[in-house]
Structure 1
């Protein structure tokens, strides 16, 4: 079902961020190396340093032909993938930016991070439209509902705060985790929100009411990413415990564990980020061991 295909080496420091390219056969990685790297899925090899950065990169986000590069300094670089140049630099956050998402129907970019504040930007001219405080410390992750009507924020105090995307009014607080919420995704079929935390648990919140449906003891340590397959009923999780797990997205049955401890290929340090390729053929993972691993998936 899922097998190790290739390990891409070259980063000299821990890697925190992955994003697909605007092209189907390429993706980007970044972390403490002060540069964003482009890789080819066709040749399974390094392509180039896409752009140098001034500080560590905590998040990458691709929207159409734009790549948003969120940094420890608080700056967010907007890189045009067609023109191959920096188009804008977004400056508001006073500390590291941990997540970037787009709300397409509103032509907005939403960012958050270590300062506990959300900033909303225009996709048209990259101006700052709005900002509001969420908590005194870190907001780690953002999820946008499928209809783009709701924005969920995973916070350091263990609470998920859900906002209306029209006016950014707080509509719900979900208290289920004991520690910081570190991963958050709406399911592709729109029936639930799933969260992962430093408490190593997955929580499944039924929609539209956000009632707690499932608590899954998923990992030994923090859950750092949740990634739904683009077309099939599976999702993957990765953790500080150095394992990747593949789950059924309807029954939450565990199908596969990828870990050196389980005698499969795997990472030898914390796994910080994971994405599926656009066509769903590959799962890509990375972390503190400075390796980028590509896994081939067959249903």
Structure 2
């Protein structure tokens, strides 16, 4: 299913963020290094430090030839690939930014983080359109439904908050986790929302009602990320327990555990971020051990 393909080294500090680009072979990573690193999947090697940053990076998001960099300082920067430079840096929040997403249908950018507020920005000129308080403490995760009608926020107070994307009105709160919600993802076809938490459980919420369908004791510690494969019926999870797990997206059967213990190769510390390459051939993982690992999917 998945096997180790390459370990990319070069980061000197923990890594928290990954992002693909429009170019199939290029991706980016960032963390406590004060720089965003560009890598090539074609050569499986470091390309260059794409840009310096003023504080640690907790999130990267790529959209429409621009890379959005969310910093510990509460600022975000926009790197424009056509102009090959940072075009703007905005002091968006008073505390660290943990997540950035784009609402394509509305041409809007969303930022959120430790201050619990969600800021809505115009992608035309990066003026602030709206701001609301989703929680009184950290919001770590954002997931947007495939049809872009709803948005889910994973909060430190154990709640998942569902908002209508049309007007950012609160639709409902989902209660189920006993500890902070740290990861969220909608099924690509909109069948369900899946959440991961510091309680080490995955919860599956059926759509459109968000009824709790299943609770899976998935990991030993915090589940930091959930990533659906772009074309195949799988999703992967990564955890503070140093493992990556591959699951069936239809029946939630566990297919594979990628860890030092099980596979003989893997991360030695918390795995903070995972993502699939654009073509779905590779799963990329990174974390506190400063390594970027590439896993190949075997058909």
TM category, shorter: over 0.9
The equivalent of 2:69 in structure 1 is: 69
What per-residue deviation string (whole Å, max 9, x for no partner) do you get for residues 134-171 of structure 1? 22210001000011110100000110000011111100
Count residues in correspondence.
Answer: 299
RMSD: 0.7
Q: Is the 8 A contact 1:22 1:81 kept in 2?
A: no
What per-residue deviation string (whole Å, max 9, x for no partner) do you get for residues 195-254 of structure 1? 000000000000000000010000000000000000000000000000000000000000
- Structure 1's consecutive aligned runs of 4 or more residues displaced over 4 angstroms after TM superposition are none
How do residues 249-264 of structure 1 correspond to structure 2 at under 5 angstroms? 249-264=249-264
The equivalent of 2:225 in structure 1 is: 225
SS at match of 1:99: strand
The equivalent of 1:18 in structure 2 is: 18
Provide TM-score, normalisation by structure 2: 0.99
How do residues 65-214 of structure 1 correspond to structure 2 at under 5 angstroms? 65-214=65-214
Query: For the residues of structure 1 that align with 2:148 and 2:175, how far apart are their CA atoms?
Result: 22
1:76 and 1:170, CA in 2 relative to 1: closer, same or farther beyond 3 A?
same
SS at match of 1:7: strand
Query: For the residues of structure 2 that align with 1:144 and 1:63, how far apart are their CA atoms?
Result: 14
Q: Is the 8 A contact 1:57 1:69 kept in 2?
A: yes
What per-residue deviation string (whole Å, max 9, x for no partner) do you get for residues 26-59 of structure 1? 1000000000000000000000000000000000
Query: For the residues of structure 1 that align with 2:263 and 2:135, how far apart are their CA atoms?
Result: 42
Moved more, 87-96 or 152-161: 87-96
Residue segments in structure 1 that go unaligned for 5+ positions in a row: none
SS at match of 1:261: helix
The equivalent of 1:35 in structure 2 is: 35
Query: For the residues of structure 2 that align with 1:211 and 1:136, how far apart are their CA atoms?
Result: 25
* Cα distance, 1:262 vs structure 2: 1.3
Q: Is the 8 A contact 2:257 2:263 kept in 1?
A: no
Q: Is the 8 A contact 1:183 1:223 kept in 2?
A: yes
Provide TM-score, normalisation by structure 1: 0.99
